[in-house]
Structure formats: C-alpha cells, structure tokens
Amino acid sequence: MMRIRFNLFFIFYFFLSVHIKAQSDRPLPSKAQLTWHEMEFYFFVHFGPNTFTDKEWGHGDEPEDVFNPTQLDCRQWARIAKQAGAKGIIITAKHHDGFCLWPSKYSTHTVRESKWKNGKGDVLKELSQACIEYGLKFGVYISPWDRNHPKYGTPQYNDVFVNMMKEIFTNYGPIWELWWDGANGEGPNGKKQVYDWDRFKKTVKTLSPNTVVFSDVGPHIRWVGNENGIAGKTNWNYLDTVGFTPGLGAPSTDILNTGNMFGKTWIPAECDVSIRPGWFWHANENDKVKMPEQLFDLYLRSVGRGSNLLLNVPPDRRGLINENDSTALVEFKKIRDKSFERNLLKGNIATVYNNLKGNLTKLITDENSNTYVTTRISKGGDSPPNFILKFNSETKINCLVLQEAISKGQQIKEMEIILIHDNTGIKDLHITTVGRKRIITFPAVSVDSVLLYIKESKSNAVLSEVAAYLIDEKLIEK
C-alpha cells in the first residue's frame, strides 16, 4: 500500500476556497422534492379485494362483498409505521381491479357496495385521520387501469379518473405523494385506455401544487426500474423525459435505475419493494416475511444510494398488519438506531481541512444538511485531497456516510476515499455518485485519518456532511 506523508504547508497552499457558490446548469429540486428526499423511508400498503381472493391482480369481476375486513384498524397501521421509523403511508386507493377504498361517486365497485360496515366504511378517511394523529404523511396510489369500469377504453374514462382524483384531494388531503401505476391493460369491454397524462398532471398541480407525483417518468419522482428495492450504485437525480410516458413508454429499466447524468429534469428514484414475496397479503407468506437484517440491507441499497425506500406492508383479512411483519419492522428500526447512534467523527475529530482557512470541522460534521463546503475536483494523481479528516485518536470504523447539499444540485461523478493508519493508506475505496446520501460499508479497520478525493465532478462539488460509524460486521453490504 502507498505511504502518504502530510505536509501541512503543502496542504494549506493547495486547498481551495470554502462557500464558493456552486455553478451548475443542472436543474435543482423543488421545495416539495427536498422535503420528499428527507422522508427516506415510508410504508406502501396494498389492500383491497385481492387481500380476500388471494390474487395479486384482480380481474374487476369480484363481488364487492368479498371485501370485508373484520377488525380494520388504520391506527394500528400508523402506530406500527411510527414504531418502525417510517415517515408516511401510501395506500392503494384503487388497484387495477377498479375497486375503490372510498365511496366514489364515479364507480359502483367500491366500499359502499360491500358488506363492510354495511356500506358506510371509508378506508381513506380512516387512514388519513390516523396519519394525522401519528404525525405521518399520507399518500395515495391510484391505478389508471380499471378492469371493472364500463367506460374504461373510451374518452369518457379520462373524465372518470380526473373526477376520482378530485374526490381524493378534496376529501382526504393534504396528499403528500400521489402514486401512478403505468399499467394499461384491457377493460371489461376488451379495450385499452388512451391515458391523458397531461390532463392528469395539470389536475394534480391545480388541486394540490405541493403534492409530489410518482410514475416511471415523474413528473417529480421516478420508479427505480425494479421491484427489489435496490437503487443503482450510480444514481443520478436527473432524468430526461421528453418523448417518454409511464408504463410501456418509459425509459429502459437500466436508465431508470441510474438516471441521466445530464438529464434536464430533477426526478429522483424511489425504491419500492415488499416485505413479503407478494404485494398483497397471503396466508402462505406469513413465514416468508423479510428478516430485519434483510430490511437493513435494502436500506443500505436504497437510502444508502441516494434514493427513498418505499416498503410495502400489506394488512391481512382482519385489516391488521400481521404480527410477523410488525416484529420484523420494529427490529429493523432497532438495527438502524444502533448502527447510526454514534457518529465517530463527532467529538472525536481534530480537524477537517479543505482550504487555506483550515479547520472546517463544524461545517462538515454538524449533522445539518443546510451547511456545506464547496470545493473543486482533484487534478491529476499528485493533487492533494479535497478533504482530510484527522481523528483525535486511532478509531475503528467500517461505515462512512456522505451527503451532498442537493439544494445546490448533484455534482459528484467519482470519488476515491483512502483510509489512513500511521501515515499509511490501508484501504482504498471508490464510488461514483453521492447525492442526498451515500452509505459506504467495508470490513472494519482502525484509522487516524480519512482522505476524500473528488476525482470527477460536473461542477464545484458541495458536501454537507461526512460521518463515520462502526456497525455490526454482519450487516455491512457485501
């Protein structure tokens, strides 16, 4: 391994200025998108007739009476979400079968026609109220595909879909995130619908301008390209959408997974995955719930790569989250808390050098994403590092967390991280993008310094936070 000698005069001479305004021609996130980035982890809830018919995609011909949860308790969902550290819940208000979990005036396939609460029930009302009570954001999934509605496949159906969205925003808002599935199959008349996406987007913007909208191509949040909950190791928050539409008209899954480095629109990725093999509850999957350690691994591969984690937790036929799921979720929270409870840079670092002004410890380790340090990329192999983090004493670590100040855009293309012990480089790590958060894990080593080289960047890079941790070795990303 190479040996690195520190010459403070050399370092100070070459270090660059702090707080230079980042120059970028890239688009920036909106205030609503920045708030979305801070959510990190929240629940998806698939619930409806499929819960009772043991299907994943209903055909729309199921009798309404099949939907009859015996102990529905949305407060239990919200309570478990809160205990798991999730910050919101997105509910499948209408899946492809067309069944509405609210008594819509624009369908006859709803909770109003079911036996549940003698047709007086309203899942959206109960869940939206529970989210308010527990301090959670409330989101809605509404599939444009409708395998039940007689007008599906005709121009009139777009009116129906718009009116349904108006009901949801008017009666159950505020809606934090609206989730559009791009599926487009045949309706009961054997026809497919031509979706008026422009009209749909304009409707949401008019009704609720602060709502972020998800689909394969946004306009605000994009699909990550898989249902495994895994973002690309290279993950840009930019995407080109001209000529693309949700569903079959979307970009390739590879592009959705990594984004476009020079994309014209800020559309970050959301990682959706189920805690079970299926999306709806099935009795034979009660013993197939993901273990807490598996959920933590998904966290590293989603949130730890600059995305958000949308974890599906489907209620059972009682209308309750199953005990196996809730146990795994609470333990998952414990693992996260324990892993990241102590930033080993905080209170244990002598200096963070970046420029002629020297010590920037407070700016880069203050756990405040609103403070940041701006720097330029390294030039050539002999260039000094952009950051030198010197510990007060030898410290054992196996996890680093980096954050860009994404309010200024996303700039870093490539970084090299060198772990130093006694002036010797003992570990050399390479990553590409950073974004909102990048979590890097590696076998534990004792270090006294960490060097950060920004090898390539689109413009001046803006780092807001660097943290170091020692987590359970069994949990590090393989």
User: What DSSP string runs through 131-160?
Assistant: HHHTT-EEEEEE-S--SS-TTTTSHHHHHH
pLDDT at res. 361: 61
Give which of 411, 410, 420, 413 is closest to 387, Cα–Cα.
Answer: 420
Tokens at 179, concatenated: 């989730």
Please give the domain boundaries of the chain with CATH numbers for all domains: 8-27+342-475 (2.60.120.260), 40-339 (3.20.20.80)
- Determine the 3-state secondary structure of 398 from DSSP: strand
Residue 352: per-residue pLDDT: 64
197-207 vs 155-172: helix crossing angle, rounded to 10 = 20
pLDDT values of the chain reduced to their tens digit, one per residue, 478 residues? 444 443 432 333 233 333 333 344 569 999 999 999 999 999 999 999 999 999 999 999 999 999 999 999 999 999 999 999 999 999 999 999 999 999 999 999 999 999 999 999 999 999 999 999 999 999 999 999 999 999 999 999 999 999 999 999 999 999 999 999 999 999 999 999 999 999 999 999 999 999 999 999 999 999 999 999 999 999 999 999 999 999 989 999 999 999 999 999 999 999 999 999 999 999 999 999 999 999 999 999 999 999 999 999 999 999 999 999 999 999 999 999 999 999 998 877 666 665 434 556 667 777 788 888 887 666 655 566 678 888 888 999 999 999 999 999 999 999 999 999 999 999 999 999 999 999 999 999 999 999 998 888 988 888 899 999 999 999 998 6
Q: What is the pTM of this model?
A: 0.93
Q: What per-residue confidence (pLDDT) applies to 81?
A: 98
Q: 238 and 264 in contact (C-beta within 8 Å)?
A: yes
Strand partners, 196: none
| Residues whose CB falls within 8 Å of the CB of residue 91, separated by 6 or more in sequence, listed in order | 45, 47, 101, 123, 124, 127, 139, 140, 141
Structure confidence at residue 355 (pLDDT): 46
Pair 111, 91: CB distance under 8 Å: no
**Distance (Å) of CA 161 to CA 107, 124, 149, 182, 471:** 10, 17, 10, 14, 48
| Token pair 């805690």: residue | 275
